[in-house]
Amino acid sequence: MTEYRWLTYDTVDDGRIAVVTLNRPRQRNAQHRGLLVELDEAFTAAQYDDAVRVVILRGAGTAFSSGHDLGSRDAVVEREPGPDQHPSFQGNGATRDGIERMWLQEWHYFVQNTRRWRDLRKVTIASVQGPVYAAGLMLMWACDLIVADTTAEFADVVGARLGMCGVEYFAHPWEFGRRRAKDLLLTGDSLTVQEAYRLGMVSRVFEAGELEDKTLHYARRIAGLPSATSLMIKESVNQAQDHAGFHNSLQTSFNLHELNHSQYAVLTRGESVLYGPELGGKPWNEHGPVVPTSKTEVKLSS
């Protein structure tokens, strides 16, 4: 069995339910390449195992995932040439020049990975708590069902803080609705778990401290269905969404995302692919707290 460094993989109920736990709590489960590659391996293992009927994806600690890892020591070391460089930085476009390098790397590890997880041949449940920001949304949205506790909040801050047009797996209009997606992307405001439930993005809301147990109860109920029935329900809904344009819209939005990076590369003469101090903006880690969205007020974010 695969030995994981950045996550844990367990099965319960005689192997019928697999539990994948992101295990970088000190970094609020921020996603660096090592974590993403292991997550793909874990999902593949669950898919291969015919005993598994449902896969739960959760995060250790107080946050499901705070998004891409933009600066931890682990993330820096794995990118740099040397004995600790992650193998994924030696292929899949990593040795190409210009924007082609980022375009191919992000396609493989942010978009194609996520689409593959969305189409996994098992029912998947994201069990989330705390801040679910930016790329944290991508992992969550790849799952068939989302359950959350009352501490969960959801935001894509990359427009307001990095000058980007949303994360790479651009499911926002499908998850939030068109106008709410524009509002949340342009402001970077967060959505409460109760509003996420009203939108239909979240299926169940549990009290803090009950998330793990109640997610397992939920998974057991679904695991009780015939596996073919579960898969056909999943496939029927996913194909309906794809026929409505979901797959093509993801690809188009991803290409715009890469054009957005190219804009900053041109403006900074290759110094940055994000909006930051080089262009008069703040460093990404010097912004104030994320502001909750409000029906009646416009709150300023720093």
Tens-digit pLDDT profile for residues 141-178:
999 999 999 999 999 999 999 999 999 999 999 999 99
Q: In the predicted model, is pLDDT for residue 192 greater than 90?
A: yes
Run of H or E residues at 181: helix 178-187
Tokens for 78, please give them.
């794995």
E strands, the chain, are: 7-12, 17-22, 54-59, 123-128, 131-133, 145-149, 153-155, 191-192, 204-206
Average pLDDT taken over every residue of the chain? 96
Segment 15-35 mean pLDDT: 97
CATH code assigned to 7-286 = 3.90.226.10
Per-residue confidence (pLDDT) for residue 302, from 0 to 100: 55
Residues 6+ apart with CB under 8 A from 126: 57, 58, 64, 139, 140, 142, 143, 145, 146, 147
Contact present, 94 and 253 (Cβ < 8 Å): no
State the pLDDT at residue 73.
Answer: 95
Neighbours of 291 (CB within 10 A): 19
Is the pLDDT reported for residue 130 higher than 70? yes
The mean pLDDT value for 30-53 works out to: 98
pLDDT value at residue 244: 98
pLDDT tens figures, 209-251: 999 999 999 999 999 999 999 999 999 999 999 999 999 999 9
Percent of the chain scoring above 90 in pLDDT: 96
Give the domain ranges of the chain. Answer: 7-286
Kindly report, residue by residue over 30-39, the tens digit of the pLDDT.
Answer: 999 999 999 9
Task: Provide the token pair at 280.
Answer: 């008069």
- Give the per-residue pLDDT at 1: 65
pLDDT (0 to 100) of residue 77:
95
Q: State residue 51's pLDDT score.
A: 98
pTM: predicted TM-score of the whole model, two decimal places: 0.96
Selected residue with higher pLDDT from 302 and 57: 57
Q: Report residue 268's pLDDT band, with 50, 70 and 90 as the boundaries.
A: very high
Q: What is the mean pLDDT of residues 90-108?
A: 96
